[in-house]
Structure 1
Amino acid sequence: MIKVMTSAERHTVHNGGIHGEFSFSFGEYEDPHNEFFGSLLAHNEYVLEPKQRMERSYHHDLIMVYFVLDGTLSYEDDTGERIELGPGSVYVVNTGTGGAHTQKNEDETRSVRYLQLWLLPEELGQEPTHHYAEFTREQRLNQLFPVASGVKGESGATLQLDARLYSTILETGGRVSHSVAEGRRVHLYVVNGNVEVTTDEGVYQLSAGDTARIHQCEEIQVKGIAAEGASEWIAIDLP
């Protein structure tokens, strides 16, 4: 089955120079019918205007994935980790036993746009870890490319969970397909452009900001259908 959530259905927050779009219950947004999808607990998109920062917060036993779309995101936490993340960067933080962290935009003129995913790890109480990877447009063009994975030997930042995060840029008319194993599910999100998603249940057209939650489906096909330019999207295959 497939459930499509349009961009307009996401919860939107504005806090000064911070803009957020939430696909699941998060912070002050509480919806008992929209709290998680398998082990995916949160999927947020943020835009930080110049010199803006997120409030420092404490978390434990979460896998937090940051995927930068535009601009440069500065991440830091109380383990001493400090890193600058540019476009195409994927950064995976397993908070484990816990820690406080923040993200900020130190640029004086340019905004930063990024995705944040929260997942439930397979084991609790681990030591905090950080994993970084960076990818070009060419690597993701017209193919389903893993940018983070819990499968040993695969490319991408390491996930401490049996899941894969894919990033794809499809030219108009370009197609990719993905087989979904029994008991697995796929969360697909359109970053830019327009795509056509075909499953056992039918054909669905998605625009930027739309998501599709797909479960109990054997095969997914995605086609780029933007009138101009390419279409960018991510998909996470997870338990």
Structure 2
Amino acid sequence: MITLRPAAERGHANHGWLDSRHSFSFADYVDPAHVQWGPLRVINEDRVAAGQGFGTHGHRDMEIISYVLEGALAHKDSMGNVATIVPGEVQRMSAGTGVTHSEFNYDSAGTTHFLQIWILPDRTGIAPGYEQKRFDAADKRGRLRLVVSPEGAEGSLRIHQDARMYAGLFDGAESAALAIAPGRLAYLHLVRGRATVNGHPLAAGDALLYRDEPQVEVEAGQAAEVLVFDLPPAGD
């Protein structure tokens, strides 16, 4: 079964300094039909205004992934990490027993556009951790490049959950397929552009939820960027 989640049906919050679209229930957006998909709990598409950001705040027992599309996101946390995330880079922060951090757009004119992704860990109470890596466009061109996994396979970021995240760029005749093992779930989010996925024409912000399907098939991209999540069922 493949279920379409149209971009226009996502939750929306505009705080002036922050314009955010929520794929799952988040903050004041409550949608019982879209709370999580397996352990995938949050995909927020955030646009942070120039000179603005998230002040210091706390998290615990969550795997948090930041995927920057435009601009730059300055990060500072209680583990002593100070970094800037730019397009092509992916950051993973394991909140574990508890961590505080801030995220800021120091550009005086441009907006920072990024995806904030939360995945529930397979166990609670782990030590907090941080990792950041670059994945060049050439490495994602016409394929689904593994960027997050439980083993840190193929140079990917390591998370504490049996979940994998792939990123790909597609134009024209480029295509790729990702097998889904029996009993597992998948979730595809079209970050930008257009593409046909398992026969569904998608535009930026659209998503597909997979259950009992053999594979994800991406083709006919038009400046398309996609994220695909290979996930265990909820409770596993």
Give TM-score, length-normalised by structure 1.
Answer: 0.93
After superposition, the Cα gap between the structure-2 partners of 1:155 and 1:224, relative to the gap in structure 1 and judged at 3 Å, is farther
CA contact (8 A) 1:66 1:115 kept: yes
Distance 1:211 1:77 in 2: 31
Tell me the CA shift for residue 151 of structure 1. 2.6
Whole-angstrom distance in 2 between the partners of 1:25 and 1:56 = 22
Describe the SS at the equivalent of 2:32.
Answer: coil
Alignment-mate amino acid for residue 106 of structure 2: E
**Which of 184, 203, 209 is residue 207 of structure 1 equivalent to?**
203
- Number of aligned positions between the proteins: 232
1:222 matched residue in structure 2: 218
Deviations 1:56-114 (A, max 9, x none): 32111000000111111011122222110011110001100012222110111211111
Q: How far is 1:174 from its partner?
A: 1.2
CA contact (8 A) 2:70 2:87 kept: yes
Maintained 8 Å contact 2:12/2:29: no
Q: Which 5+ residue runs of structure 2 have no aligned equivalent? A: none
Counterpart Cα distance in 1 of 2:119 and 2:42: 7
Which residue identity lines up with residue 215 of structure 1 in the other structure? R
8 Å contact from structure 1 (residues 172, 231) kept in 2: no
What corresponds to 1:85 in structure 2? 85
Q: Secondary structure at the match of 1:139?
A: helix
* 2:158 matches 1:169: no
Between the aligned residues of both structures, percent identity stands at 29
Q: Which runs of 5+ in 1 are unaligned?
A: none
Number of the residue aligned with 1:109? 109
Q: Which residue of 1 aligns with 2:94?
A: 94
Please name the residue that 2:230 is paired with. Answer: 237
Distance 1:151 1:79 in 2: 22
Q: Which amino acid in the other structure matches residue 227 of structure 2?
A: I
2:127 matched residue in structure 1: 127
Provide the C-alpha distance between the structure 1 equivalents of 2:14 and 2:118, rounded to a whole number of angstroms: 21
Amino acid at match of 1:183: G
After TM superposition, give the deviation of residue 152 of structure 1 in Å: 4.4
Assess if the C-alpha contact under 8 Å between 2:54 and 2:104 holds in 1: yes
Structure 2 CA distance for aligned equivalents of residues 126 and 87 of structure 1:
29
1:1-239 superposed matches below 5 A: 1-198=1-198, 203-226=199-222, 230-239=223-232
TM-score, length-normalised on structure 2? 0.95
Equivalent pair of 1:149/1:163 in contact (CA under 8 Å): yes
